[in-house]
Structure 1
Amino acid sequence: MSHSLRDPDRYCAVLGAEGVGLGRWHGRQHQWLGSRDFTCDATQPAWGPALDTLAALLTEHAPRGAALRVVLSARYSRFCLVPWSDAIGHPGELQAYARACFESLYGQPLDDWRIVLSPEPAGAARIATALPEALLQGLQALGVQSHLKLRSVQPYLMAAYNRCSAQLGQGDFLFVLAEPRRSVLLLAAGGAWQQVLAQGCADSDQALKALIERTCELYGEPLPQVYLHAPGRADIAELGAVQLCAAAGDADPLHAMWRAVA
């Protein structure tokens, strides 16, 4: 689903690791409406407090009938590389194959997760994203409860990569999305995806540099061009030849993430 330009008021909510932000589009005008933090403990899924916080923001700012787009932090997603298989000939088989790849990687079933695959040419591996079904259903219910038109739900990794794709070119590269507390790395070589890695990472230049270097060492080839998208990291000083992509210079990560998709 995608939003329609005919909607007079369009809103985009960003569900971050520890907060929710909301922005508004009206014609060509962009307006950041603010953000709120939330807390959750280890006994409850993170999306529960996030949905409650989003509901409060929508009640305060979004009128009935407005269109809503939701962007999800990597905290709510799992990622997996799905290799090409000549044996796959049907979409249902591809879904089952992707689910098996996830279960092999994470060591547990993903019965309550929805899997979305990147579109790739024949012969190429795909990036698969798994999203909690309960979170998606909660967003649908919130849209109905708030009398809003839920237009799309998208992992921020996809939005950030699409925003930066023109800058990446056609060669080998490592694309790094450094969200607060968690980073996702996409490695491309020979015109195809080679690796996707998501893991916790401290919010420091040193930790991010070490993560990038380890990933390149595991690849075992000459260092590819590294592109970094780091919402909320206003000053990155120690990463050498890394090229920065979009949304630099904004100290509020939720605002930076919203700007990247606005």
Structure 2
Amino acid sequence: MSHSLRDRASNQYCAVLGAEGVGLGRWHGSQHQWLGSRAFTCEAAQPAWQAALQALSALLAEHAVRGGQLQVLLSARYSRFCLVPWSDAISHPRELDAYARACFENLYGQSLDDWRIVLSPEPAGAARIATALPDALLQGLQALGQESHLRLRSVQPYLMAAYNRCSAQLQAGDFLFVLAEPRRSVLLLACGGAWQQVLAQGCADSDQALQALIERTCELYGEQMPQVYLHAPGRGDVPQLAAVQLCQPASETDPLCAMWRAVA
């Protein structure tokens, strides 16, 4: 995976769009400042990202944000993930995009014409992790940036930011990387130096629920359990699981702030 969140100049803002709230942090030189968060609720017929954009607009106005650069981290609630196997028949980026869309449609059972797909860079012969984001969400973020005179510098699933930050702690070999966001977890299984599985699903914020999810995913691996790495930024306590704890931030009462600090 790629997409680093480096090169921070003055007036750099980072918004975290969580499952039930949005948060905003600022970098000014070498200083980090958490500005706050705002909860939202969704109507049954309303996409979650619409409520998130409305909350972010209010948060930007509350802190009188005018000018600078904006980076956005997206909860897994706003993303879809899919494993795209290697194919020798693919020779052009347009073919790869069409192939990835076919993989998504096969997995989710619906067209993703209104979604933007990004694939992880992998060596020839290896499967890729594909991420789909709603075009309307990306356009809404662009419009919000223009309203506040912010240059939208990057929009990134929190999964990518967390994996990039934690990857140096992962040892070579087979492993399961688990991102436990509040109420939702994403699991990446790597075997033989290549991605084998990506799974995102709702999960209660308890050790028992997370352990059961990990065990079900490891059943795909075979008899020997892979090394499990866990990043749980939204948890107020340290999960008591047989896993290597990654990037565990200081205790935060606001899970959005914990997510921001974990990759700041």
Q: Taking structure 1 as reference, are residues 160 and 62 closer, same or farther at Cα in structure 2, changes over 3 Å only?
A: farther
Alignment of 1:6-25 (within 5 A): 7-25=9-27
Alpha-carbon offset, residue 5 of structure 1: 4.1
Q: Taking structure 1 as reference, are residues 2 and 126 closer, same or farther at Cα in structure 2, changes over 3 Å only?
A: closer
Q: Distance in 2 between matches of 1:2 and 1:205?
A: 30
Alpha-carbon offset, residue 217 of structure 1: 1.3
Q: Distance in 2 between matches of 1:6 and 1:17?
A: 26
Alignment of 1:1-262 (within 5 A): 5=7, 7-239=9-241, 241-248=242-249, 249-262=251-264
SS at match of 2:219: helix
* Deviation readout 1:111-140 (Å, 9 max, x if unpaired): 110000000000000000000010000001
* Deviation readout 1:25-58 (Å, 9 max, x if unpaired): 0000000001111000221000111001101111
CA RMSD of aligned residues (A): 1.5
Q: Taking structure 1 as reference, are residues 125 and 53 closer, same or farther at Cα in structure 2, changes over 3 Å only?
A: same
* Deviation readout 1:208-262 (Å, 9 max, x if unpaired): 00000111112224100000011121323431x2111113433421011111221
Alpha-carbon contact 1:83-1:126 (below 8 Å) kept? yes
Q: Distance in 2 between matches of 1:5 and 1:238?
A: 36
**Residue type of the alignment partner of 1:247:** Q
* Deviation readout 1:117-165 (Å, 9 max, x if unpaired): 0000000000000000100000011111111111110000000000100
Alpha-carbon offset, residue 3 of structure 1: 6.9
Q: Distance in 1 between matches of 2:4 and 2:57?
A: 21
- Larger deviation, residues 220-229 vs 78-87: 220-229
Alpha-carbon contact 1:216-1:223 (below 8 Å) kept? yes
**Residue type of the alignment partner of 2:115:** W
**Residue type of the alignment partner of 1:177:** L
Relative to the length of structure 1, the TM-score reads 0.96
**Residue type of the alignment partner of 1:222:** Q
**Residue type of the alignment partner of 2:199:** L
Q: Distance in 2 between matches of 1:160 and 1:51?
A: 22
SS at match of 2:155: strand
Q: Distance in 1 between matches of 2:9 and 2:162?
A: 24
- Larger deviation, residues 189-198 vs 230-239: 230-239
Structure 1: any 5+ residue segments left out of the alignment? none
**Residue type of the alignment partner of 1:254:** L
Structure 2: any 5+ residue segments left out of the alignment? none
Alpha-carbon contact 2:22-2:55 (below 8 Å) kept? yes
Q: Distance in 1 between matches of 2:157 and 2:237?
A: 25
- Larger deviation, residues 243-252 vs 19-28: 243-252
Q: Distance in 1 between matches of 2:238 and 2:100?
A: 36
Alpha-carbon offset, residue 62 of structure 1: 4.8
* Deviation readout 1:85-109 (Å, 9 max, x if unpaired): 0000000000000000000000111
Count of residue correspondences: 261
Q: Distance in 1 between matches of 2:243 and 2:259?
A: 20
Give me the identity figure in percent: 80
SS at match of 2:53: helix
Alpha-carbon contact 2:5-2:161 (below 8 Å) kept? no
Q: Distance in 2 between matches of 1:78 and 1:90?
A: 23
Relative to the length of structure 2, the TM-score reads 0.95
SS at match of 1:238: coil
Alpha-carbon contact 1:247-1:259 (below 8 Å) kept? no
